[in-house]
A = this chain, B = another copy of it.
């Protein structure tokens, strides 16, 4: 009898067998080769036959079995996106925005996105398994940290992947990023140009690179424009961000010398605005508020119109670019970096030009 220890098996669909390439071949009295080649656009099948084939394929509701295709072609047409199961970290509203772009682009190119979450210690094993077992052709890597072990692993495994953000080795892999440095450099310049002598900078979690880069940009701008580093009160908000926005702003409000607020995320900024209002200060008149705006679709900035100056950059666009890049790699093994565009929107009473961030394409 040879029973398995623990498995049980059953067909997945309630209805009977799906129609296969063999059924088509039988129906038309041609070989399965001809069916396959007709459907895949090869030139060695006669026009009449091809027409008959596609017609009956449609009529019988034929859909090629994806797993058979994957097995023989050794390509899954799927890309993997593994999330950190690190409780709060992964549940970030920014993430959904990126995902919207990722899904849309993937659909357009007929790729699937396969997702899992895994705690950081076991993540490498997950990447390894996914690529060994043929589940995916490449990966999206999110929120890179300095010397990110995931990147190290993927680089030496020689697997296609794209990183949302950059670290030291960014020459060697494909990436998509916003111009963190340029944007925060310019925002700082803008604040100073508007006559503010001291401001608070409420940054994101510095364990992620985007935050480090932004801090660097702010201090560089201060130095280049001849201001002391003391002109900024630097505050770091850890994930999840929202609580930090309110509390850190309250902290900064205690110092009267501070007349401007710079936020690393619009999420921090909206909370900050609440704190500012509650303290009886009015943004745009008493204080200047500047921020990075990632265009979170669910956040309506209407009520805040004019109260806030920001650099706008679409995370959704970044998401699309991510999968475009990783697919490009899967299909012809060349890597490139993409800087997503940024545009400035000035709040009321703020002087300056609406500098548009560069759109750059590194590599080819």
Contact = CB atoms under 8 A, between A and B. Distances in A.
Interface string A268-301: 0000001001100000000000000000111110
A328 interface: no
Contacts of A247: 303
Given A66-B135, A93-B93, A133-B63, A43 B298 contact: no
Contacts of A76: 12, 67
B2 A43 contact: yes
Contacts of A74: 11-12
Give this chain's copy count. 2
A79 to B, nearest CB: 11
Interface in A48-98: 61, 63-68, 70-71, 73-76, 78, 83, 85, 87-88, 90-93, 95-97
A343 interface: no
Contacts of A67: 67, 70-71, 76, 134-135
Interface residues of A, number: 93
A136 to B, nearest CB: 9
Contacts of A44: 2
A298 B12 contact: no
B113 A6 contact: no
B91 A103 contact: no
A4 B40 contact: yes
A10 B243 contact: no
A9 B83 CA distance: 29
Contacts of A278: 277
A117 interface: yes
Given A85-B107, A117-B104, A246-B303, A68 B65 contact: no
Contact of A5 (B12, B41, B114): B41
A298 B7 contact: no
B240 A298 contact: yes
Contacts of A159: 13-14
A87 B100 CA distance: 8
A131 interface: yes
A256 interface: no
Interface stretch (A175-183, A224-232, A329-337, A350-358): A329-337
Interface of A: 2-15, 18, 37, 40-44, 61, 63-68, 70-71, 73-76, 78, 83, 85, 87-88, 90-93, 95-97, 100, 103-104, 106-107, 112-118, 128-129, 131-135, 137-138, 157-160, 239-243, 246-247, 267, 274, 277-278, 296-300, 302-303, 330-333
The 4 nearest A-B residue pairs measured at CB = A14-B158, A243-B300, A103-B117, A5-B41
